[in-house]
Structure 1
């Protein structure tokens, strides 16, 4: 693939902070799928013995900050980390004539491009699994296809009964967070009371109020 195609693939899985908290409650949640996992032996425990922690991850570096904070502060041998990754639906296929709606190109081209996107995404997400493995913590990746990342995560909370959710945020968002912007407070305000939401910035937890 050429550099133009690589940039297009990168855009397919780009995790923008504004997109992550882009609230729109009109569309239902997409199907959740397991992409890959690392098992460090905790499968010998009974299902109820696992401490489950969910971490939203994407391309940006603050996702790794959130995961590292989680591994250092919230995990123990019985902990299972579920990595949540929301990715947009593929609507356009790159061609020599530019990006074309997928309904206007051959099925074979659509399938080939979707496979390329999937492999590219898997390569990016593998580093999160590798990090969990280095900490000897079992983990898997939950994929959600949705253009509304925040809504997808919020809808997932009651479906999976998520009790602990960790997300990273960039330093550039701190000023807005302290002013109580919808970007910062939206996820914690709309999350059910039973779900403890933690925002991590540069390795430190931000104290949020609802």
Structure 2
């Protein structure tokens, strides 16, 4: 009889302990548990100098690609070049917004206007940009493709550095997406240049 009373007295304590353990298991972030908002934010904020440099440099780089592509319709680009320009604008505009969001999350500032104007890998000089603005029709198509190949190659180089040395998962994933998309576009553009039959087209095709 004494033993039975003792067991009954211990039972509520044991049940309470089970409830506590269950509650702890549900919020402790163990195996199989969904990450909390705080954990997700912490992971997004994890970055190094390479990540910050990638975002800072890629923002003006992408912005110039969009600016180049926005000239296509105004400058009477051919169908193939217009389709490519639309594709580049549609992809890189949203990426610019994501990159700016990363810098904000990390408490980092974008490049100043003066620094952004400096030539980086693949960036057009002011004279090259002026030439592109003046070109129309097939002349625009040829120049756009030649300059965008160089522009993309610069972006791929920057993205590969991020993949190799970065630590932020979001930035590294974007870098991988940039490499995949832009290497494919480089191949397509070199093919279009080769089909044009011009000296510049034959040179670009040979380089590919």
* TM-score range for the pair, normalised by the shorter chain length: under 0.3
- Greater helix share, structure number: 2
Structure with the greater relative contact order (CA < 8 A, sep ≥ 6): 1 or 2? 1
Max Rg structure = 2
- Greater strand share, structure number: 1
